[in-house]
Amino acid sequence: MNVEALSTYGYIAASILFISGLKMLSSPRTARRGNLLSAVGMLFAVVVTLAHHGLAYQWILMGAILGAAIGAVASYIVPMTNMPQMVAVFNGFGGLASLLVGWATYHMDRDVSRFTATATWLTVLIGGVTFSGSLVAYLKLSERFISGRPVRFRNQQWVNGLLLVVTLALGAAYIWAPASAPAYTALLAVIALSLVLGVLSVIPIGGADMPVIISLLNSYSGMAAAAAGFVIRNNVLIVAGALVGASGIILTAIMCKAMNRSLSNVLFSGFGAAGAAQGSEVKGEAHPISPEDAYLILEAARSVVIVPGYGMAVAQAQHAACELGEKLTRNGCEVKYAIHPVAGRMPGHMNVLLAEANVPYEQLAEPQDVNPLMSTVDVAMVIGANDVVNPAAREDPKSPIYGMPIINVDHARTVFVLKRSLAAGFAGVDNPLFFYPNTRMLFGDAKATLQALVAEFKAAAAA
């Protein structure tokens, strides 16, 4: 069997590992194994590529060691609260890698077919948008230099449209005669414009829409990789990129559905921008409660639904929440963790936190699973969530989040809200839930509050 056939079979095996790993990622129980399986598939694909093309192993090995070192250090020093920012950076560098592959391949050999030129143009365009857009997303999520809210200016959509038209025109000129001298200049101009487009397409997005854009940028990085696969004629890169691109688009669609909004509305509405409608004025008197009094209610509860949000991530309260859930379960209470698809700052943010705390998978639930039963729930405990439990989304037509499906915690017999203050959430929308007659506010650090509740259960058990 010749080397070409062996590499083909190797790529097929790597593709099978990718697909199997992606399938495992659909369940929290098998996600870690799926991630490892996909990583093994990528390592296998790299080894097969090196064996097939006889590339300089020393440079590839140096890059692998450097990348592994950076990844290992980042996994230890990056806190869970910064995981969305880390994902944004990873998406960006994935796009940058594809851009460099497309540019370097054409730089070394400009005598290419129009098909390859088209693939190269798509690679640098999507890769550039992904890179700069992801960096802006990182800055927005970390609120460094750029506000987390949408940034808009006059005629912004017209400017973006004009830049896109110019990029298409330059691409057409490059594809028509890729071997000509002006073609190289046109491609460089496309690279520059793609970076500008990435910035301008992400800055008008903010607030609760950021998880959607993170998912969309992940899809872009996959599409850029697939296009790069056509440039260098590597089948396994095409497969891997297509899988990432398709899964990212599917996840984006799921999240848009969870907010009852279209993707175009997310991209162009400027949700959360200054001066946007904030809904009807919210008035009322909050009802604070102490952890000691909250314990008495929890001790008698037979069913509790815990709703985590970004505030839980900030307080690093997932372990305390898990411990409280264990105490409630031992007390004969049925405990569920209701996770909204857009809770947190990235897709699956709450799932990752709860998995880190070893919360039993069978206790995780989606809004459609708990909402029909919420009126029978004794206590709904909201830990740092805001927008995903805001009744204004259901009741106030003036609210910017009106129509977004929420977790109906206000239907429970008692609602505990763990929050530092009555301030609005990431979307900048006030929450009337805080003033409902069945709501009790547990003010303070969420981790400290949960630990106080756990301490009450321990003291009662020891008595």
**Which residues are designated catalytic?**
387
Q: Please tell me the distance from the alpha carbon of residue 109 to that of residue 102, in angstroms, as a whole number.
A: 11
Length of the chain: 463
Distances (CA, A) of 333 to 85, 305, 399, 455: 36, 10, 36, 17
The whole-angstrom distance between residue 194's C-alpha and the CA centroid of its chain comes to 22
- Six token digits for residue 220: 């872009």
Q: Please tell me the distance from the alpha carbon of residue 295 to that of residue 290, in angstroms, as a whole number.
A: 9
Is beta strand 379-383 parallel, antiparallel or unpaired with respect to 439-443?
unpaired
Q: Exposed e or buried b for every residue in 23-55, given b needs 16+ CB within 10 A?
A: ebbeebeebeebeebbeebeebbeebbeebeee
* CB 336, CB 307: distance < 8 Å: no
Q: Exposed e or buried b for every residue in 252-267, given b needs 16+ CB within 10 A?
A: beebbebbebeeeebb
Distances (CA, A) of 108 to 184, 192, 226, 232: 11, 20, 20, 12
